[in-house]
Chains A and B, each alone.
Chain A
């Protein structure tokens, strides 16, 4: 495993000592591919939605550009130029997307490149469904600041979506499916009216069991999300900033 740029740290926190930035700069091909997979996993959806909205592209166009962007990232080694001391990785990637789309427009290289792109298996249909479900309000995205906020929100949505899937897998592995069901019912699908008591009745459990299961699921969710977040940050300080951005805005 490649060594990362994180220094110091705290043993109480996710033990993952690996960052995609270190991975993509690795000499080991398998390591590089793993890093890019992780990066694509976290970023392709925000990038796709961003291209759809910011650049007002049709679904097929945006799909092509998203595929092209990640292929370019591989081919031109964009991540080698990333400097964690100057910006956040997500800001850097968003600017790279802007630059990529503008270049594509100018040179129309996308057509010339034709079938050379190595296509990634991305669930564009799912991303389109999110558009159709009205999750994204295009009219609210006008200024550069709101675009940044939009990209951040979609990035968090993607990160949390992956963490939820990881949590589901963990619950299945540890035979704690009921904990995931409660988490799903309360945190993912519930509303403010749903109480622990109602949930306990629905699942035939004691309220304390619901409380304990939800506390465990949230703890694991947070741990997984932090691990994933750490992977897609370029440095320790960026991880800290992003942690505050992602988790530090409680409104309760």
Chain B
């Protein structure tokens, strides 16, 4: 029998782990990323002569639960046609038995890298509102993301915002009664990776704990899958908002925020889901009101808060009137003396 060197062993392992694209319209370019469920490769679509991203299971094998999850993720993405959600092009099974799907190849930065270039709070709030758009759209279609965090938001080269990695998405069956989507996410054992790469996958008495610590809602952390609804994603978005405004992961954030913004974050991240915003529209409306200099629903203003807000909103006119009055006073004093 042939003696295989370590180098040969490594080359054979690597060669065998690569997806077998024989018989497909794709040719391999390079590996792009590894996620909780599979590996993403950049491949070339030979028919359309363009680069697309292909997500496949990590290794050849027929782990039906993982294959089903990947297929399910593709189906979830396919029904969420929105500019802020990566479109799926194709789905199938490779010659080596691995389930795959192809999607638009997103070239850009992750949100946590991108926000370094944004210095003003209004700019960051506008980015936040654009992140909320696809999430609100998904909620309207009965889909929860369940793993919203800076690492799962991409900013494209033209500033387009994309919410990615819908591998943990939960479908609220009651919202889509006529379109069965296979097993509910609550019955599947899933994995997720948090920002530092740690994998979270544990079970509780209620169900599987899936998501990223620090960004998961308390009910999600407790594995109370049956309680998850839009408010769970709203919790994650509240944490993400706090991150955007403070530049730091939520657990280490100590920066003081404006009262109204802090109130919005607090309401979105309330431990009791009944105290959170009930729907995405409420959250985005409050953030928009803040941007417009209006009172936000989450914050009971004092007179000083109201005056400060009035000043922020009409700063130019206030300063103009103040300058006019000052000039009048100076003129009066000059005339008097």
Which residues in A have some Cβ–Cβ distance to B below 8 Å? 8-10, 12-13, 123, 126, 129-130, 133, 135, 153, 156-157, 160-162, 164-165, 187-191, 215-216, 218-219, 221-222, 225-226, 239-240, 243-244, 246-252
Contact = CB atoms under 8 A, between A and B. Distances in A.
Contacts of B63: 240, 244
Contacts of B8: 187-189
Residue in A130, A215, A225, A239 with the greatest tally of chain B CB atoms within 10 Å: A215
A110 to B, nearest CB: 26
B26 to A, nearest CB: 12
26 contacts: A10-B64, A10-B97, A12-B95, A13-B62, A13-B97, A129-B3, A133-B5, A135-B6, A160-B4, A164-B4, A187-B8, A215-B20, A218-B20, A219-B20, A221-B16, A222-B60, A225-B16, A243-B59, A244-B59, A247-B16, A247-B59, A249-B17, A250-B17, A252-B14, A252-B30, A252-B31
B20 A246 contact: no
A226 B2 CA distance: 18
Residue in B12, B14, B18, B95 with the greatest tally of chain A CB atoms within 10 Å: B12
Nearest to A123: B1
A251 B61 contact: no
A226 B98 CA distance: 13
Interface in B5-37: 5-18, 20, 22, 30-31
Given A10-B64, A164-B12, A244-B59, 14 more contacts: A130-B3, A135-B3, A153-B9, A156-B9, A161-B3, A187-B15, A188-B11, A190-B11, A226-B60, A240-B61, A243-B59, A244-B61, A249-B17, A252-B18
Contact of B2 (A153, A164, A221): A164
Nearest to B21: A215
B73 interface: no
Contacts of A215: 20, 22
B1 A249 contact: no
Contacts of B39: 250
Interface string B27-63: 0001100000001000000000000000000111111
Contacts of B31: 250, 252
B22 A219 contact: yes
A86 to B, nearest CB: 20
B56 to A, nearest CB: 11
B12 A160 contact: yes
B199 to A, nearest CB: 14
Contact of B3 (A133, A156, A239): A133
B224 interface: no
B64 A8 contact: yes
Contacts of A189: 8
B246 to A, nearest CB: 36
Closest 6 CB pairs of A and B: A250-B17, A248-B59, A243-B61, A10-B62, A247-B59, A12-B97
A161 B1 contact: yes
B247 interface: no
Nearest to B9: A157
B10 A251 contact: yes
B324 to A, nearest CB: 70
Contacts of A129: 3
Contacts of A157: 4, 9
Contacts of A225: 16
A244 B13 CA distance: 11
B68 interface: no
B152 interface: no
Contacts of B15: 187, 218, 221
A156 B22 CA distance: 25
Contacts of B95: 12, 219
Nearest to B13: A249
Interface string B253-287: 00000000000000000000000000000000000
Nearest to A218: B15
A191 to B, nearest CB: 7
A165 B1 contact: yes
B4 A218 contact: no
A250 to B, nearest CB: 3
B18 A160 contact: no
Nearest to A189: B8
Given A187-B15, A190-B11, A219 B1 contact: no
Contacts of B96: 219, 222
A8 B17 CA distance: 23
Contacts of B18: 218, 250, 252
A126 B17 contact: no
